Structure 1
Amino acid sequence: MLQKVRFLHTLFEKAVNGKGFDRFLKNVQILSYADGKCKAQFTVTEEHLNAIGTLHGGFTSSIIDVISSYALTSYQTGKPAGASVDLHVTFLKAAFPGEVVTVNAETIRAGKTLAFLAVELTKNDGKDVVARGQHTKYLVPIKK
């Protein structure tokens, strides 16, 4: 388990401190990571907003993609999580600046070539669902 946690820490640090797109994670905190699950949290700030002042759908989709991929790495042996095949997001409620959003991702099933993950973003201590996501990933075969 410690190896998996180290893997996530390294992956997360590279993302946050890198020059690529994953820098959007800089204000996201990983709360837990184990057994095919990953829980994260962030406070909605100006950088997360769309033109009407609510949590941007692109940010929501990206956080679903990344946190579910982290959940998958904890399910496997701490290896990279493969490639996205499908990402479906249902937006249910707006989130506003200052609100704390919790992201719960879970590996539903991982076979030889595909993994299926579910994600829920909530606010108000889980009382309100902001969005739900379903993520399918292709698992890259590991050469022996």
Structure 2
Amino acid sequence: MSDKFEQISIKPGFMKHNGGVLFRTISETEYEFKSTINENHLNAAGITHGGYLSALIDAGAGTSAHRAANGSPCVTISLDLKFIGASKVGDEITGFTKILKKTNTLIFLFCELKCNDKIITSGSGVWKILKIK
């Protein structure tokens, strides 16, 4: 659907403060996002902190849920993560989200983060579609 990434971290907050997230829609059920690792994303071992990777997946997958829900607000119900590999300063991290199932109130999805064509984090989660009146 879109070849071009857009910056989704436009309002003040955690992700904008940490460098932002670029996002694009591939199809109605597939989305991609990316971010570049900075020094403030590192842990004491000099690799990307798991908390930042968690936040990146939550932001990218959450935006995917929001888009899959036709723009309705969505909140994370559960997010199960597996930390598989590492990344360092200057690395570009690319996330890929696949919507597995959508109901009237829930979005089920799977997400992977890759660095240098290797999976570094994977996650599955459930998002609640909020019906704001």
- TM-score, normalized by length of structure 1? 0.78
Cα distance in 1 for residues equivalent to 2:132 and 2:102: 14
Which of the numbers 44, 47, 59 marks the counterpart of 1:51? 44
Partner of 1:21: 14
Q: Which runs of 4+ in 1 moved over 4 A?
A: none
Measured after TM superposition, the shift of residue 48 of structure 1 is: 1.0
Cα distance in 2 for residues equivalent to 1:116 and 1:58: 22
Partner of 2:107: 115
Cα distance in 2 for residues equivalent to 1:27 and 1:138: 23
Partner of 1:5: none
The answer to whether the 8 Å contact 1:36/1:72 transfers is: no
Which is richer in helix?
1
Which of the numbers 103, 115, 122 marks the counterpart of 2:95? 103
Which is richer in strand?
2
User: Percent identity over the alignment?
Assistant: 27
Cα distance in 1 for residues equivalent to 2:107 and 2:20: 27
The answer to whether the 8 Å contact 1:36/1:73 transfers is: no
Partner of 2:121: 131
Unaligned 5+ runs, structure 2: none
Question: In structure 2, do the counterparts of structure 1 residues 27 and 138 end up closer, same or farther at CA, with 3 Å as the change threshold?
Answer: closer
Whether 1:85 aligns to 2:77 is yes
Cα distance in 2 for residues equivalent to 1:78 and 1:106: 17
Question: In structure 2, do the counterparts of structure 1 residues 97 and 22 end up closer, same or farther at CA, with 3 Å as the change threshold?
Answer: closer
Question: In structure 2, do the counterparts of structure 1 residues 22 and 106 end up closer, same or farther at CA, with 3 Å as the change threshold?
Answer: same
SS in 2 for 1:13: coil
Whether 1:37 aligns to 2:27 is no
- TM-score, normalized by length of structure 2? 0.83
Measured after TM superposition, the shift of residue 21 of structure 1 is: 2.3
The answer to whether the 8 Å contact 2:85/2:120 transfers is: yes
SS in 1 for 2:51: helix
Whether 1:12 aligns to 2:9 is yes
The answer to whether the 8 Å contact 2:111/2:123 transfers is: yes
Measured after TM superposition, the shift of residue 112 of structure 1 is: 2.0
The answer to whether the 8 Å contact 1:37/1:74 transfers is: no
